[in-house]
Amino acid sequence: MRRHARGATKLRVMFGTEIAIGPGKAELLRHIARTGSISASARRMGMSYRRAWLLVDTMNRCFREPVVASAAGGSGGGGARVTAFGRKVLERFDAMRRRVDRALDPELERFAGLLR
């Protein structure tokens, strides 16, 4: 999986020194929304469950409300879901990304010409 195209930009929203949300956490949120599971999302993204859980934990700590609600036990052994608040966070982050892409479109094209 190609992570970053040549000359692409990466946007992160910082909360102090921690990354409240960035490309990776946003993708993780989308996986959790689709699979309803942190561990399944971790497998699909090729990362350890521990890392996925830490990313979720960081997000839940950075934002005013949890972006992911999880439950252990129950049908299917439990699961995790993206809260309505989490969907809003994701929507706004994606909107920010689109804005950045549009705003940088002319600049970035020229800037990429400076790269090897």
Partner DNA sequence: GCCCGTTATATCCGGCGGTATATTACGGGC
Partner DNA sequence: GCCCGTAATATACCGCCGGATATAACGGGC
Nearer to a second copy, 9 or 35 (CB): 9
106 vs 83: CA distance, rounded Å: 36
Residue from 54, 95, 96, 112 binding DNA (CB under 7 A): 54
Q: In the set 23, 39, 63, 100, which binds DNA (CB under 7 A)?
A: 39
Measured in whole angstroms, the distance separating CA 25 from the mean position of its chain's CA atoms is 2
Q: Decide if 41 contacts 28 (C-beta within 8 A).
A: yes
In the complex with a second copy, the residue whose CB is nearer, 35 or 63, is 63
CA separation for the pair 13, 80 (Å, rounded): 23
56 contacts DNA (rule: CB under 7 A) = yes
In the complex, the smallest distance separating the C-beta of residue 107 from a second copy, rounded to whole angstroms, is 5
Q: Cβ of residue 24: shortest distance to DNA, in angstroms? A: 9
DSSP 113: T
